Amino acid sequence: METVQATIDNVFVKNLPDGRPIYRAIVGDREYTTLKKSIAEQAKELVGRQAEIAFTYKPGNPREGGGTWPANYYLESVLPIPIQGNGGFTTAPAPPADDEREQRIMRQSALARAIDTLPYFEKAEQTRETLATLADEYLSYFTTGAWEGSTLTASSPDDDIPF
Protein backbone atom coordinates (compact mmCIF):
# COMPACT_ATOMS: atom_id res chain seq x y z
CA MET A 1 0.00 0.00 0.00
CA GLU A 2 1.24 3.49 -0.88
CA THR A 3 0.27 6.90 0.49
CA VAL A 4 0.18 10.38 -0.96
CA GLN A 5 -0.74 13.79 0.46
CA ALA A 6 -2.88 15.78 -1.95
CA THR A 7 -6.05 17.86 -2.32
CA ILE A 8 -9.21 15.92 -3.18
CA ASP A 9 -10.90 17.64 -6.12
CA ASN A 10 -14.15 15.66 -6.43
CA VAL A 11 -15.89 12.46 -5.33
CA PHE A 12 -18.73 10.88 -7.28
CA VAL A 13 -20.45 7.53 -7.75
CA LYS A 14 -21.06 5.47 -10.89
CA ASN A 15 -22.74 2.10 -11.26
CA LEU A 16 -20.92 -0.97 -12.49
CA PRO A 17 -22.60 -3.06 -15.23
CA ASP A 18 -23.93 -5.40 -12.51
CA GLY A 19 -25.57 -2.42 -10.71
CA ARG A 20 -23.13 -2.13 -7.79
CA PRO A 21 -21.93 1.41 -7.03
CA ILE A 22 -18.27 2.27 -7.53
CA TYR A 23 -17.00 5.44 -5.88
CA ARG A 24 -14.43 7.61 -7.65
CA ALA A 25 -12.24 10.24 -6.04
CA ILE A 26 -10.49 12.69 -8.36
CA VAL A 27 -7.14 13.96 -7.08
CA GLY A 28 -5.27 16.10 -9.59
CA ASP A 29 -5.08 14.10 -12.82
CA ARG A 30 -5.53 10.73 -11.08
CA GLU A 31 -8.71 8.80 -10.28
CA TYR A 32 -8.91 6.54 -7.23
CA THR A 33 -11.75 4.00 -6.97
CA THR A 34 -13.37 2.07 -4.14
CA LEU A 35 -16.43 -0.07 -3.59
CA LYS A 36 -16.56 0.95 0.09
CA LYS A 37 -19.13 3.65 0.78
CA SER A 38 -17.54 4.61 4.12
CA ILE A 39 -14.22 5.48 2.43
CA ALA A 40 -16.05 7.48 -0.25
CA GLU A 41 -17.96 9.40 2.44
CA GLN A 42 -14.68 10.27 4.20
CA ALA A 43 -13.25 11.49 0.90
CA LYS A 44 -16.41 13.52 0.14
CA GLU A 45 -16.04 15.35 3.48
CA LEU A 46 -12.47 16.32 2.52
CA VAL A 47 -13.15 17.70 -0.98
CA GLY A 48 -11.08 20.85 -1.45
CA ARG A 49 -8.79 20.00 1.48
CA GLN A 50 -5.46 18.29 1.92
CA ALA A 51 -5.74 14.62 2.79
CA GLU A 52 -3.50 11.62 3.25
CA ILE A 53 -4.65 9.06 0.71
CA ALA A 54 -3.71 5.40 1.08
CA PHE A 55 -4.10 3.37 -2.09
CA THR A 56 -3.09 0.17 -3.84
CA TYR A 57 -1.66 0.46 -7.34
CA LYS A 58 -2.37 -2.22 -9.94
CA PRO A 59 -0.74 -1.83 -13.38
CA GLY A 60 -2.98 -2.16 -16.42
CA ASN A 61 -3.37 -5.55 -18.08
CA PRO A 62 -2.44 -6.14 -21.74
CA ARG A 63 -5.19 -5.71 -24.33
CA GLU A 64 -5.89 -8.32 -27.00
CA GLY A 65 -5.28 -5.92 -29.88
CA GLY A 66 -2.11 -4.51 -28.32
CA GLY A 67 -1.34 -1.92 -25.70
CA THR A 68 -2.50 -2.06 -22.10
CA TRP A 69 -5.54 -1.10 -20.09
CA PRO A 70 -5.10 1.93 -17.80
CA ALA A 71 -3.60 1.34 -14.37
CA ASN A 72 -5.93 1.12 -11.36
CA TYR A 73 -5.57 3.03 -8.11
CA TYR A 74 -7.71 1.43 -5.40
CA LEU A 75 -8.60 3.78 -2.54
CA GLU A 76 -7.90 2.14 0.84
CA SER A 77 -8.31 5.06 3.27
CA VAL A 78 -8.55 8.85 3.44
CA LEU A 79 -7.47 10.94 6.44
CA PRO A 80 -7.44 14.73 6.93
CA ILE A 81 -4.02 16.33 7.25
CA PRO A 82 -3.87 18.46 10.42
CA ILE A 83 -2.63 22.01 10.04
CA GLN A 84 -0.88 24.00 12.75
CA GLY A 85 -3.28 26.46 14.37
CA ASN A 86 -2.89 28.90 17.27
CA GLY A 87 -4.15 26.44 19.85
CA GLY A 88 -2.56 23.25 18.52
CA PHE A 89 -3.60 21.11 15.62
CA THR A 90 -6.89 21.66 13.87
CA THR A 91 -8.26 20.50 10.54
CA ALA A 92 -8.38 22.84 7.57
CA PRO A 93 -11.60 24.84 7.15
CA ALA A 94 -14.06 23.78 4.47
CA PRO A 95 -13.82 25.73 1.22
CA PRO A 96 -16.32 28.58 0.85
CA ALA A 97 -19.55 27.91 -1.00
CA ASP A 98 -19.51 28.77 -4.69
CA ASP A 99 -21.73 31.84 -4.20
CA GLU A 100 -19.49 33.16 -1.43
CA ARG A 101 -16.41 32.58 -3.57
CA GLU A 102 -17.96 34.34 -6.57
CA GLN A 103 -18.98 37.31 -4.42
CA ARG A 104 -15.47 37.55 -2.95
CA ILE A 105 -13.93 37.48 -6.43
CA MET A 106 -16.33 40.16 -7.69
CA ARG A 107 -15.56 42.39 -4.68
CA GLN A 108 -11.81 41.98 -5.22
CA SER A 109 -12.17 42.69 -8.95
CA ALA A 110 -14.39 45.73 -8.31
CA LEU A 111 -11.81 47.18 -5.92
CA ALA A 112 -8.98 46.54 -8.39
CA ARG A 113 -10.92 48.30 -11.18
CA ALA A 114 -11.74 51.19 -8.82
CA ILE A 115 -8.04 51.59 -7.96
CA ASP A 116 -7.20 51.59 -11.69
CA THR A 117 -9.88 54.24 -12.35
CA LEU A 118 -8.99 56.58 -9.46
CA PRO A 119 -6.16 58.43 -11.32
CA TYR A 120 -8.76 59.71 -13.82
CA PHE A 121 -10.25 61.90 -11.09
CA GLU A 122 -9.03 65.32 -9.99
CA LYS A 123 -6.45 65.12 -7.19
CA ALA A 124 -8.94 66.54 -4.66
CA GLU A 125 -11.45 63.78 -5.51
CA GLN A 126 -8.96 60.92 -5.09
CA THR A 127 -10.30 59.92 -1.68
CA ARG A 128 -11.35 56.73 0.08
CA GLU A 129 -14.98 57.75 -0.35
CA THR A 130 -14.53 58.03 -4.13
CA LEU A 131 -12.71 54.70 -4.16
CA ALA A 132 -15.54 53.05 -2.18
CA THR A 133 -18.19 54.55 -4.48
CA LEU A 134 -16.31 53.35 -7.55
CA ALA A 135 -15.93 49.86 -6.12
CA ASP A 136 -19.67 49.74 -5.33
CA GLU A 137 -20.53 50.84 -8.86
CA TYR A 138 -18.23 48.23 -10.41
CA LEU A 139 -19.69 45.55 -8.11
CA SER A 140 -23.19 46.59 -9.14
CA TYR A 141 -22.14 46.33 -12.80
CA PHE A 142 -20.63 42.87 -12.22
CA THR A 143 -23.82 41.58 -10.57
CA THR A 144 -26.46 43.25 -12.77
CA GLY A 145 -24.62 43.73 -16.05
CA ALA A 146 -25.78 47.35 -16.34
CA TRP A 147 -24.42 50.66 -15.12
CA GLU A 148 -26.67 52.32 -12.57
CA GLY A 149 -26.49 56.10 -13.05
CA SER A 150 -23.04 57.07 -11.79
CA THR A 151 -22.69 60.09 -9.58
CA LEU A 152 -18.97 60.42 -10.33
CA THR A 153 -17.37 62.21 -13.25
CA ALA A 154 -13.78 61.58 -14.24
CA SER A 155 -11.48 63.92 -16.08
CA SER A 156 -8.69 63.01 -18.49
CA PRO A 157 -5.53 61.90 -16.74
CA ASP A 158 -2.55 64.27 -16.78
CA ASP A 159 -0.34 63.53 -19.72
CA ASP A 160 3.19 63.80 -18.42
CA ILE A 161 4.77 62.17 -21.46
CA PRO A 162 6.05 64.74 -23.98
CA PHE A 163 5.72 63.76 -27.65
Count of beta carbons in the 10 Å neighbourhood of residue 50: 16
- pTM across the whole model: 0.48
Distances (CA, A) of 30 to 22, 44, 133: 16, 16, 46
Bridge partners (DSSP) listed for residue 27: 30
Q: What SS3 class is residue 124? A: helix
CATH of region 2-83: 2.40.50.140
Q: Residues 76-134: pLDDT tens digits?
A: 999 988 765 544 445 555 555 577 888 888 889 988 888 888 888 888 888 888 888 88
Q: Residues 129-148: pLDDT tens digits?
A: 888 888 888 888 777 777 66
> Any residues with CB less than 8 A from the CB of 53 and at least 6 apart, and which?
3, 4, 5, 6, 8, 25, 27, 32, 75, 77, 78
Domain boundaries, the chain: 2-83, 98-144
